[in-house]
Structure formats: structure tokens, C-alpha cells
Amino acid sequence: MLQGSARLAPRRPPGEPPLFAYPNGIMDAPTGSPAKAADDLKSWVAAVAARTRPSHVHWCDGSDAEYRRLTEAMVADGTLIPLHERKQPGSYLHRSDPSDVARLEDRTFICSENEADAGPLNNWKSPAEMKAILDPLFEGCMRGRTMYVVPYVMGPPGGDAAKVGVEITDSPYVAANMRIMTRMGRVALEELARKGHFTKGLHSTGDLSKENRYIAHFPDEDLIMSFSSNYGGNALLGKKCHALRLASVQARNEGWLAEHMLIVGVTNPQGETTYIAGAFPSACGKTNLAMLVPPVADRAQGWSVETVGDDIAWLRFGEDGRLWAVNPEHGFFGVAPGTSEETNRNALASCRANTLFTNVALKPDRTVWWEGLEPAPPECIDWLGQPWTPDSDHPAAHPNSRFTAPAGQCPSISDRWEDPQGVPIDAIVFGGRRSRVMPLAFEAFDWEHGTYLGATMSSEKTAAAEGTVGELRFDPMAMRPFCGYHIADYWRHWLEMGRKGNAGGGDKMPKVFHVNWFRRGEDGRFLWPGFGDNMRVLEWIVDRVQGAGDAVETPLGYRPTREELHMDDLGVSAEDEEALFAVNRDDWRAECDQRDAWFDLCGDRLPPELRQQNDALRERLG
């Protein structure tokens, strides 16, 4: 087994350079647990090399020179296409295998020792059974390839929240992406010397066949094994695999939260900043909200929005008893289609240079294009490498095409985004994509009710996961694909965090809200303009956090008034406003029944408070 005792690297002929060399100085840790961690890392790398048999092992140092060598080699072998040197400097296009373009939930496994601990939403195999499948696949899989050892840090180095991981991969594309998405190389080895522990991640592109594709998580060993995929969420093991699936287990054990959430700071005209975390399923407007540009009128009044993170948040109690959050990532892995100057100019600015694009279209001038970028579609080369015109019967860019860009390039990035302490969270917002039933915005009655809102959040499926686009499914806290243990135990952890935060009197937990930008009218059009005008809802949330802001009580929670959202300025009619906030009691009784069935999946592990919340909603509906 690769995770077991060390095996020696294969013998080399006399006089031939060693298979790999450890970075000078960094691996010679002082005595104590850091020394053991360094020894464990050396032994594990040697064991993997002995099993996979690469032609060379490279320890990534995270330097600019190393990144240049990686990209130059991939350009030489056709893995990357260099983009226009002036219009998109330092940027490249990658085209993945057509069968490897999204997260594969049916090939993703939680391999806990006990099946019950994985819960009803995760695929499970025992650790022994999964390793019996994966060990033969990894045997000799890196012959003729370079094995990259990628040490990385999730979270600002030096802080309590920082976690060290090491991904071993045979993909230079993965290594290059990890250099953007994480703090990679020597900084991670230095952090390991302080922390004394690291998460193991083993990845190989394999043969890219679906039948051999596995993304396996071993929470009891802090280990990830991924085979036969080169797609971001399946191959960049620091992202969803480490920062959410394994981190969610660590968070439960250590008393914090690992969440699929953006973090923004909203500053009012008085100069007071309110920090908001928000959970949205992939491709449901989360990045747009994280980088929101307030309308001109709001900016003139003194409102501003700063980006702390766009995808993942780790929340811990601070010395003041409040929840503080860090963004564990160092880059953006954003969905390209729909991103434009109108919808998200900050995201577009973030990826104008030093960016890896995946599965977008290529224009004749060697710049990239995707649906929604510009009003007039150009003739170009599509994501499959074939000529494309506006008359073609398929999109030029894959619906889940991506950009990997350094977070520091974002014009709205907060000056606190790398603060090791993080930022204090005042509000948590849940939001899905619902064309009907769910109102535009409302506030939970309290933390327990807010946990219920998150646990019953549902959304229409998007292209980020395989399946039928538009199909409705429950996606609790936007963590359905990312919770590394039983979802009912996860909800119980949320409730326990609330009790801890409110212990001793005084409500220090964030207020909880629910939003839905995607409600449609009977004629099929969106009732809410969205994008920059979502600022109106954020301003109401800020006011509510500060004890102001008018609201009307409904069976679902407290909704904003027409005056709070300045509906007259927007030109939203009274009829559209009524439709935006309509609570059809028959529809909601049916929704309660669906939620009962959803909770039934959890059996006796369901926290009784959540069933009681559903019953209370049914009673409020009358």
C-alpha cells in the first residue's frame, strides 16, 4: 500500500544521477514533531516513486523560473497554447479530453472505515476495497513521466487556520494550476516545519478512461487518491478534495467550519465594513457576487465591496467569541461562460494576464472567447480544436470552461484577504437557482432556523457537475458534493457551533439570510435584474446586521420592504415585486413535504431540531 511503510526507490546504474534530490536545508527539520513530518514526507515520496516508477522526480519550489519551465515544456509538447503576448500576457489555453470536463460525483468516494459515517449523499467503499482497486492502477503508471512533488499551504501561512498538503502528480498542468491556486513550494515546507503534519494527495492522469477514474478520500488517514482525470476539481487536490471534503472532517473534529462559501466585505458610507460569507452551488452567481461592482449611484454614496474569497471559507471562533473566516485559496478557478464586462468586470480583469484558460474558444488573434464575453460571436476555434462559426450547432466554449487566475490580480481584492487571523463574519447568505417558489430575499429568525434554511437549500443543476442541467436537487449549504462525512452529522455540527457561539448570553453568531436571483415570471423572464443590482440586497443585509433596515415578517422569515430595495429606482413594477416575494402556500406545503422526504434519508441521525423547524414552517403556512 502506498500509504504504508517506506519502500526504497528503484536502484539506479552506477554514476547515474539520483532519481530525486530533496530541497537543501528545508527537509533537514529540527528535532520534534516537525522532524517526524519531514521524515514521513521523504518516506512517502520514496514509496510513491517505487510504486509508480517515474523517469524523474521534481520537487516544486513555487518559483517564477519553475513556472516558466513548466509552461514552456507544455507549449513545446502541445499541452498549452500561448496567447497573445500583449493582449493576454503570460496566459495559455489548455484543452482537456472531452470526457474529462467536470466533477464526476459518481466516481468520487468517501472511504471512511465505517460506511455509516459517509452518509447517504456520498459514495462509499472501505479503505481496503478502494486501495485494492487503486494500487494496481498506480503500479508503474508514471513510467516515462516526471513525478511532481507539490507542497502547498491552504490558508495564509503563519496563522492558526493554515493547513499543509503535499500533492504528488504526473501532470505538469496540475502543478502549474496548483502554483496559482495555492501557496506552493518552499513556503509550504517551511510551514510544515512549524505545523508538523500534512495532508497526502496522490494523483495520476492515468489513461483518462472513465472506467478507471476514481477520486477517493480517506478521512481516517488524511489521504486523497485520484486517478485518470486531469480536470480541476478531480485533480487539483488542494481545492475541493482537501479544502472541503477532508477539511470538513477536520473542522468537525477540531471545532470549526470548512465551507463552500465566498467572503466579501461591504463598506457603507460611514466607513463601516460588514463581512459576509455566502454559499451558492457552482455556476449560480457566487463569483459574480464575490466580485460585485456596486452601481454608480451606490458608489457615489460611498458604498464599496471588497473580495476576500470567491469559493471556500474556513471559519473559526476568535478570541472575541465571533466567527472569523479565511480564504484558504490563493487563486480563482472561475467559470468562464457568462463572464463579461457587464456581469463581472473584476473577474475579467483578474484573468487578463498570467492565467490558465481551460476549454474556452480561441480567436484568430490568439485571444480567448466564450459565450457571453462579447455581444457578437466571432469565428474562432472551439474548445475541441475545430473551426466554429455563429451558425455552429454547439457552443464554442464548453459550458464548464474555466480560468485559473491569481487572486491578487483582482481589482476588488481586500487588503485583508491574506490576514492570517481572517475577517469577522457578520452574516451568512445561502442562495440557489430557483425559477419559482423561492422569494428574492429573506432573513432567518435565528441560527437554528438559518441552519434549517441551509440544510434545505435546493437549486437547479448547472454544468459544473455531470447530470441533467436544470434538474432540481437539494444542495445543503452548497456542500452536497463536498461534505466528507454524514450530512446529518454535519448539520448537527452547525447546530453545536451555534450553541457554542451563543453560550453565556449574547448572540454572537452571524445573522443568516437566503437569496434567489433567478426567480422568473409567468412569461419566463427574470423578475430581478441581478448582477450589480444585487448590491441593494447586500445593503439591506448590512442594515439588518447593524440593527436597522425595515423588514416584514412572513412564514419563511423577514423580507425587505420595497423602500429598502429602492424598487422605484429600479423600475420594478408592483406586480413584479409581488411575484418576486410571493409565498404560495400550496407550493410551500408541497415544499415542506419534499423536505420531510429529504430528511428521511438521514434516518435516526437527523438532528430533531431540523424536523421541528420544518413542522413549524408548515404551521406558519396555516
Q: Which of 130, 96, 183 is nearest to 3 (CA)?
A: 130
Gap between the Cα atoms of 283 and 335, Å rounded: 7
pLDDT at residue 36, as a whole number: 83
| CATH code of the domain covering residue 463 | 3.90.228.20
| 17 found inside a domain | no
Gap between the Cα atoms of 109 and 118, Å rounded: 9
Domain boundary among 353, 382, 409: 409
Q: Judge contact between 80 and 92, C-beta under 8 A.
A: yes
| 94 found inside a domain | no
The pLDDT of 320-333, averaged and rounded, is: 97
Cα 611 from chain centroid? Answer: 29
Are 513 and 608 part of one and the same domain? Answer: yes
What's the Cα-to-Cα distance from 613 to each of 31, 148, 477, 619, rounded to whole Å?
A: 53, 50, 16, 10
Domain boundary among 370, 385, 409: 409
Which residue type occupies 9?
A: A
Are 449 and 479 part of one and the same domain? Answer: yes
| 83 found inside a domain | no
What's the Cα-to-Cα distance from 588 to each of 284, 445, 554, rounded to whole Å?
A: 22, 18, 12
Are 486 and 341 part of one and the same domain? Answer: no
| Residue 513 scores a pLDDT above 90 | yes
Strand residue runs (E) in 181-330: 183-184, 199-204, 214-218, 223-227, 257-259, 261-267, 273-279, 304-309, 313-317, 323-326
Strand residue runs (E) in 176-281: 183-184, 199-204, 214-218, 223-227, 257-259, 261-267, 273-279
Cα 388 from chain centroid? Answer: 31
Active site includes 284? Answer: yes
Are 199 and 307 part of one and the same domain? Answer: no
**The C-alpha cell of 158 is what?**
503563519
Q: DSSP class of residue 14?
A: T
The pLDDT of 541-552, averaged and rounded, is: 95
pLDDT band at 17 (very low <50, low <70, confident <90, very high): very low
Gap between the Cα atoms of 474 and 472, Å rounded: 7
Non-local CB neighbours of 186 within 8 Å, separated by 6+ positions: 23, 26, 61, 62, 151
Could you list the residues known to form a binding site for substrate, using ranges: 103, 231-233, 282, 400-402
Could you list the residues known to form a binding site for Mn(2+), using ranges: 240, 260, 311
| 314 found inside a domain | yes
Cα 45 from chain centroid? Answer: 28
Could you list the residues known to form a binding site, using ranges: 103, 231-233, 240, 260, 282-288, 311, 400-402, 433, 531-534
Question: How confident is the model over 241-297, as pLDDT tens digits?
Answer: 999 999 999 999 999 999 999 999 999 999 999 999 999 987 678 989 999 999 999
| 18 found inside a domain | no
Catalytic residue among 60, 111, 241, 284: 284
Question: How confident is the model over 431-443, as pLDDT tens digits?
Answer: 999 999 999 999 9
pTM over 0.85: yes
Non-local CB neighbours of 244 within 8 Å, separated by 6+ positions: 258, 259, 260, 312, 479, 482, 483, 484
pLDDT band at 33 (very low <50, low <70, confident <90, very high): low
Between the two ends of the chain, the Cα-to-Cα distance in Å is 59
Q: DSSP class of residue 322?
A: S
Q: Which of 24-28, 81-85, 513-517, 531-535 has the lowest mean pLDDT?
A: 24-28
The dihedral sign for the CA sequence 596, 600, 602, 608: positive
Are 462 and 508 part of one and the same domain? Answer: yes
Q: Which of 274-283, 363-372, 490-499 has the lowest mean pLDDT?
A: 274-283
pLDDT at residue 34, as a whole number: 65
Are 244 and 287 part of one and the same domain? Answer: no
- What is 327-367 written as a DSSP string? ---SEEEEE-TT--HHHHHHHHHHTSSS-EEES-EE-TTS-
Are 354 and 300 part of one and the same domain? Answer: no
Phi, psi of 225 (to 5 degrees): -130, 125
Residue with cell 487588503: 415
- Give how many domains the chain has, as a whole number: 3
Which residue type occupies 276?
A: I
pLDDT at residue 8, as a whole number: 30
| CATH code of the domain covering residue 354 | 2.170.8.10
| Residue 19 scores a pLDDT above 90 | no
pLDDT at residue 568, as a whole number: 84
**The C-alpha cell of 387 is what?**
473551426
| 595 found inside a domain | yes
| Residue 506 scores a pLDDT above 90 | no
Non-local CB neighbours of 475 within 8 Å, separated by 6+ positions: 281, 432, 457, 458, 459
pLDDT at residue 469, as a whole number: 52
Are 402 and 437 part of one and the same domain? Answer: no
| 137 found inside a domain | yes
Are 218 and 170 part of one and the same domain? Answer: yes
Q: Judge contact between 420 and 371, C-beta under 8 A.
A: no
**The C-alpha cell of 281 is what?**
452551488
Are 205 and 308 part of one and the same domain? Answer: no
Domain boundary among 225, 255, 285: 255
pLDDT at residue 153, as a whole number: 98
Are 466 and 380 part of one and the same domain? Answer: no
Gap between the Cα atoms of 157 and 123, Å rounded: 33
| CATH code of the domain covering residue 58 | 3.40.449.10
Q: Which of 174-183, 278-287, 319-328 has the lowest mean pLDDT?
A: 278-287
Report the percent of the chain where pLDDT is more than 90.
86
Question: How confident is the model over 445-491, as pLDDT tens digits?
Answer: 999 999 999 999 999 875 545 545 557 889 999 999 999 999 999 99
| 489 found inside a domain | yes
The pLDDT of 213-226, averaged and rounded, is: 98
Q: DSSP class of residue 103?
A: B
| Enclosing domain of residue 400 | 332-409
Report the percent of the chain where pLDDT is more than 70.
92
The pLDDT of 489-516, averaged and rounded, is: 93
Are 262 and 272 part of one and the same domain? Answer: yes
The mean predicted confidence, pLDDT, of the chain is 92
| Residue 6 scores a pLDDT above 60 | no
